[in-house]
Structure 1
Amino acid sequence: MSFDLFALRARKLSYALRVPLFRRALRTGVLAGVEHTYALRHLTPGLVIDIGANRGQFALLARHLWPAAYITSFEPLPGPNAICRKAMVGDERFKLFEAAVSTETGSSTINVTREDDSSSLLPLGEEHQRLYGSSIASTLTIKTDRLCAFIAPDECPASCLLKIDTQGFELEVLKGSEELLRRVQHIYAELSFIELYRGQPLASEVISYLHAKGYQLAGVFNVAHDGADRPIQADMLFSRVEKE
């Protein structure tokens, strides 16, 4: 583990220990994604769509920031999905699907990495292996469908936040969510500047796609660098532009 990553986890733990909801989640082995607080604290979504939920790190933060919001999460891997359910147990405004959002209805094979939060529907790239020492532990057949198969467009309020953390699959998720995009006010996605997964669209392509759909880049946060201080990836916030 690099010093920067160790320092980040130490800061997250310090924050989590001060919040009762986060302390409870720590008993299930989940550390809330508090690093996103600064980027999102000014938003007021009525619905949070959390695609790529893993163990519920983002869902926990969303519940802390927006106590009244509805949260719908997607995590296709059974193990992390089960942990996420435990972390969010008793939350009546939380819903979790064991599926991946895609342009395709049916099933697909996901590459499961040793540390499963790097798992992807795309093949692992050489840069990811070099930078993080990642490797594929297994493959798994998962359910895939368009977002509208789970959330009807008229169920999506104008104050909706769409969060995407899908390891290089972000553009496919967006294309599989097009029926709802006109109802989504903000999109928060982890995007890459270099190819970490083979064939993944880079940040510039996703930004261009979203610009064409009526979104502008509103902020860049949590930029990760390699040992040569080259930017690798970042969390980016997009906001829908109201047309006159």
Structure 2
Amino acid sequence: MTTMFRKALNALPRLGVQVVDLGPGAAVISRRGRYSATKVSADAWMVGGGRRSTRAPAEGWGLRKAAASSLCARHVADFLANYEVNCVFDVGANRGQYGRQLRESGYRGRIVSFEPVPDALARLRKAAERDPDWWVRPVALGRSESVQSMHLGWKTMNSLLEPSAYGQQRYKRFADTRTTQVQVRRLDKVMDEALHGIANPRPFLKMDTQGFDMEVFAGAGERLDEYVGMQSEVAALQLYEGSPHMTEALAAYEEAGFGITGLYPVTREETTGRVVEFDCVLARVSSVPGSAAGVRP
């Protein structure tokens, strides 16, 4: 039996209205422009639209990037729930995008965000100010306790590393930079404070530090074993001098006892299709709750 909703949808194109049917009870309706929709999970669609472009059509790189980002966010949300994570170390927090995403996806545990860049730090503090279990720390993390020069003016790509020749060719923003001195702490030196008050800590480490993730990872020292999972931005193409290739990073993570659970493209070259960076989500399989592998002393 055809419902009134379905009859209405069928009639609208004759009136010059575009209809993208998403299934029972859902549709995208527009009098102008062209829209497309991609199903990114069982209960979510990614809708792109506007005028078509020969450079980035709605169903091209932009939509695929958005779909990958949405899938990664859902993957992380499910991971945090399945592994009973109660503290997320958000390293390279920028303006708080990741923390807001965690809250929107339903995570209610503690978030400890690390961000040393003054402008981003101010916006991060604003994002977290009404959330008592979202803590902000104005420092960078790395291999050693030190003071280092941070490159600014690169928007979300500020880094403790210099841009590579490839990075300079790809991003014009790298041509104009200034630096500021930032405090760098070791991860193992800040964990006790971050986990204070949590009876049975099950931390998750998220790193998005523009080529510096392996340095953050090294700073965990022997306390790395306490993490049940992690997320790292790994590079297939080098944007920063001294940053590791993804094969090197993944080998180190796996050597430390983590296994890949998801790999999602972050950016890619539009002309060649090569992926520049991936978001990689990893689990310490021995920490799975409720399984023989997850039994802890």
1:85 aligns with 2:121: no
CA distance in 1, matches of 2:208, 2:215: 12
Q: 2:219 aligns with which of 165, 176, 182?
A: 176
1:111-163 per-position Cα deviation (integer Å, ceiling 9, x unaligned): 11x33211111111121222232324201100001012222196475532110
Q: Which moved more, 1:143-152 or 1:155-164?
A: 155-164
2:282 match: 238
CA distance in 2, matches of 1:147, 1:128: 28
Residue identity in the other structure for 1:38:
R
2:75 match: 39
Q: Is the contact between residue 265 and residue 275 of structure 2 (CA under 8 Å) also seen in structure 1?
A: no
CA distance in 2, matches of 1:212, 1:83: 37
| Aligned positions, number | 221
CA distance in 2, matches of 1:238, 1:159: 14
Secondary structure of the structure 1 residue equivalent to 2:75: helix
1:75 aligns with 2:115: yes
Residue 223 (structure 1) shift: 4.2
Residue 34 (structure 1) shift: 5.4
1:172-227 per-position Cα deviation (integer Å, ceiling 9, x unaligned): 01001234321111111111011110111111111111111111111101342212
Distance verdict in 2 for CA 1:181–1:123, change over 3 Å: same
- Alignment TM-score, normalising by the size of structure 1: 0.82
Q: Is the contact between residue 72 and residue 262 of structure 2 (CA under 8 Å) also seen in structure 1?
A: no
Q: Is the contact between residue 50 and residue 164 of structure 1 (CA under 8 Å) also seen in structure 2?
A: yes
CA distance in 2, matches of 1:99, 1:122: 16
Q: 1:105 aligns with which of 122, 145, 163?
A: 145
Q: Which structure would you say has the larger Rg?
A: 2
Residue 56 (structure 1) shift: 0.3
Once the two structures are aligned, what percentage of the paired residues are identical? 24
1:59 match: 99
CA distance in 1, matches of 2:229, 2:107: 18
Distance verdict in 2 for CA 1:67–1:212, change over 3 Å: closer
Q: 2:260 aligns with which of 217, 226, 229?
A: 217
Query: Gaps (5+ residues) in structure 2?
Result: 1-54, 288-292
CA distance in 1, matches of 2:97, 2:70: 8
Moved over 4 A (4+): 4-9, 153-158
Query: Gaps (5+ residues) in structure 1?
Result: 13-32
Secondary structure of the structure 1 residue equivalent to 2:217: helix
Residue 64 (structure 1) shift: 2.0
1:74-128 per-position Cα deviation (integer Å, ceiling 9, x unaligned): 001011000011122210001111111111112101111x332111111111212
- Alignment TM-score, normalising by the size of structure 2: 0.68
- Please report the RMSD computed on the Cα atoms of aligned residues, expressed in angstroms: 2.4
Distance verdict in 2 for CA 1:5–1:94, change over 3 Å: farther
Residue 68 (structure 1) shift: 2.2
2:232 match: 189
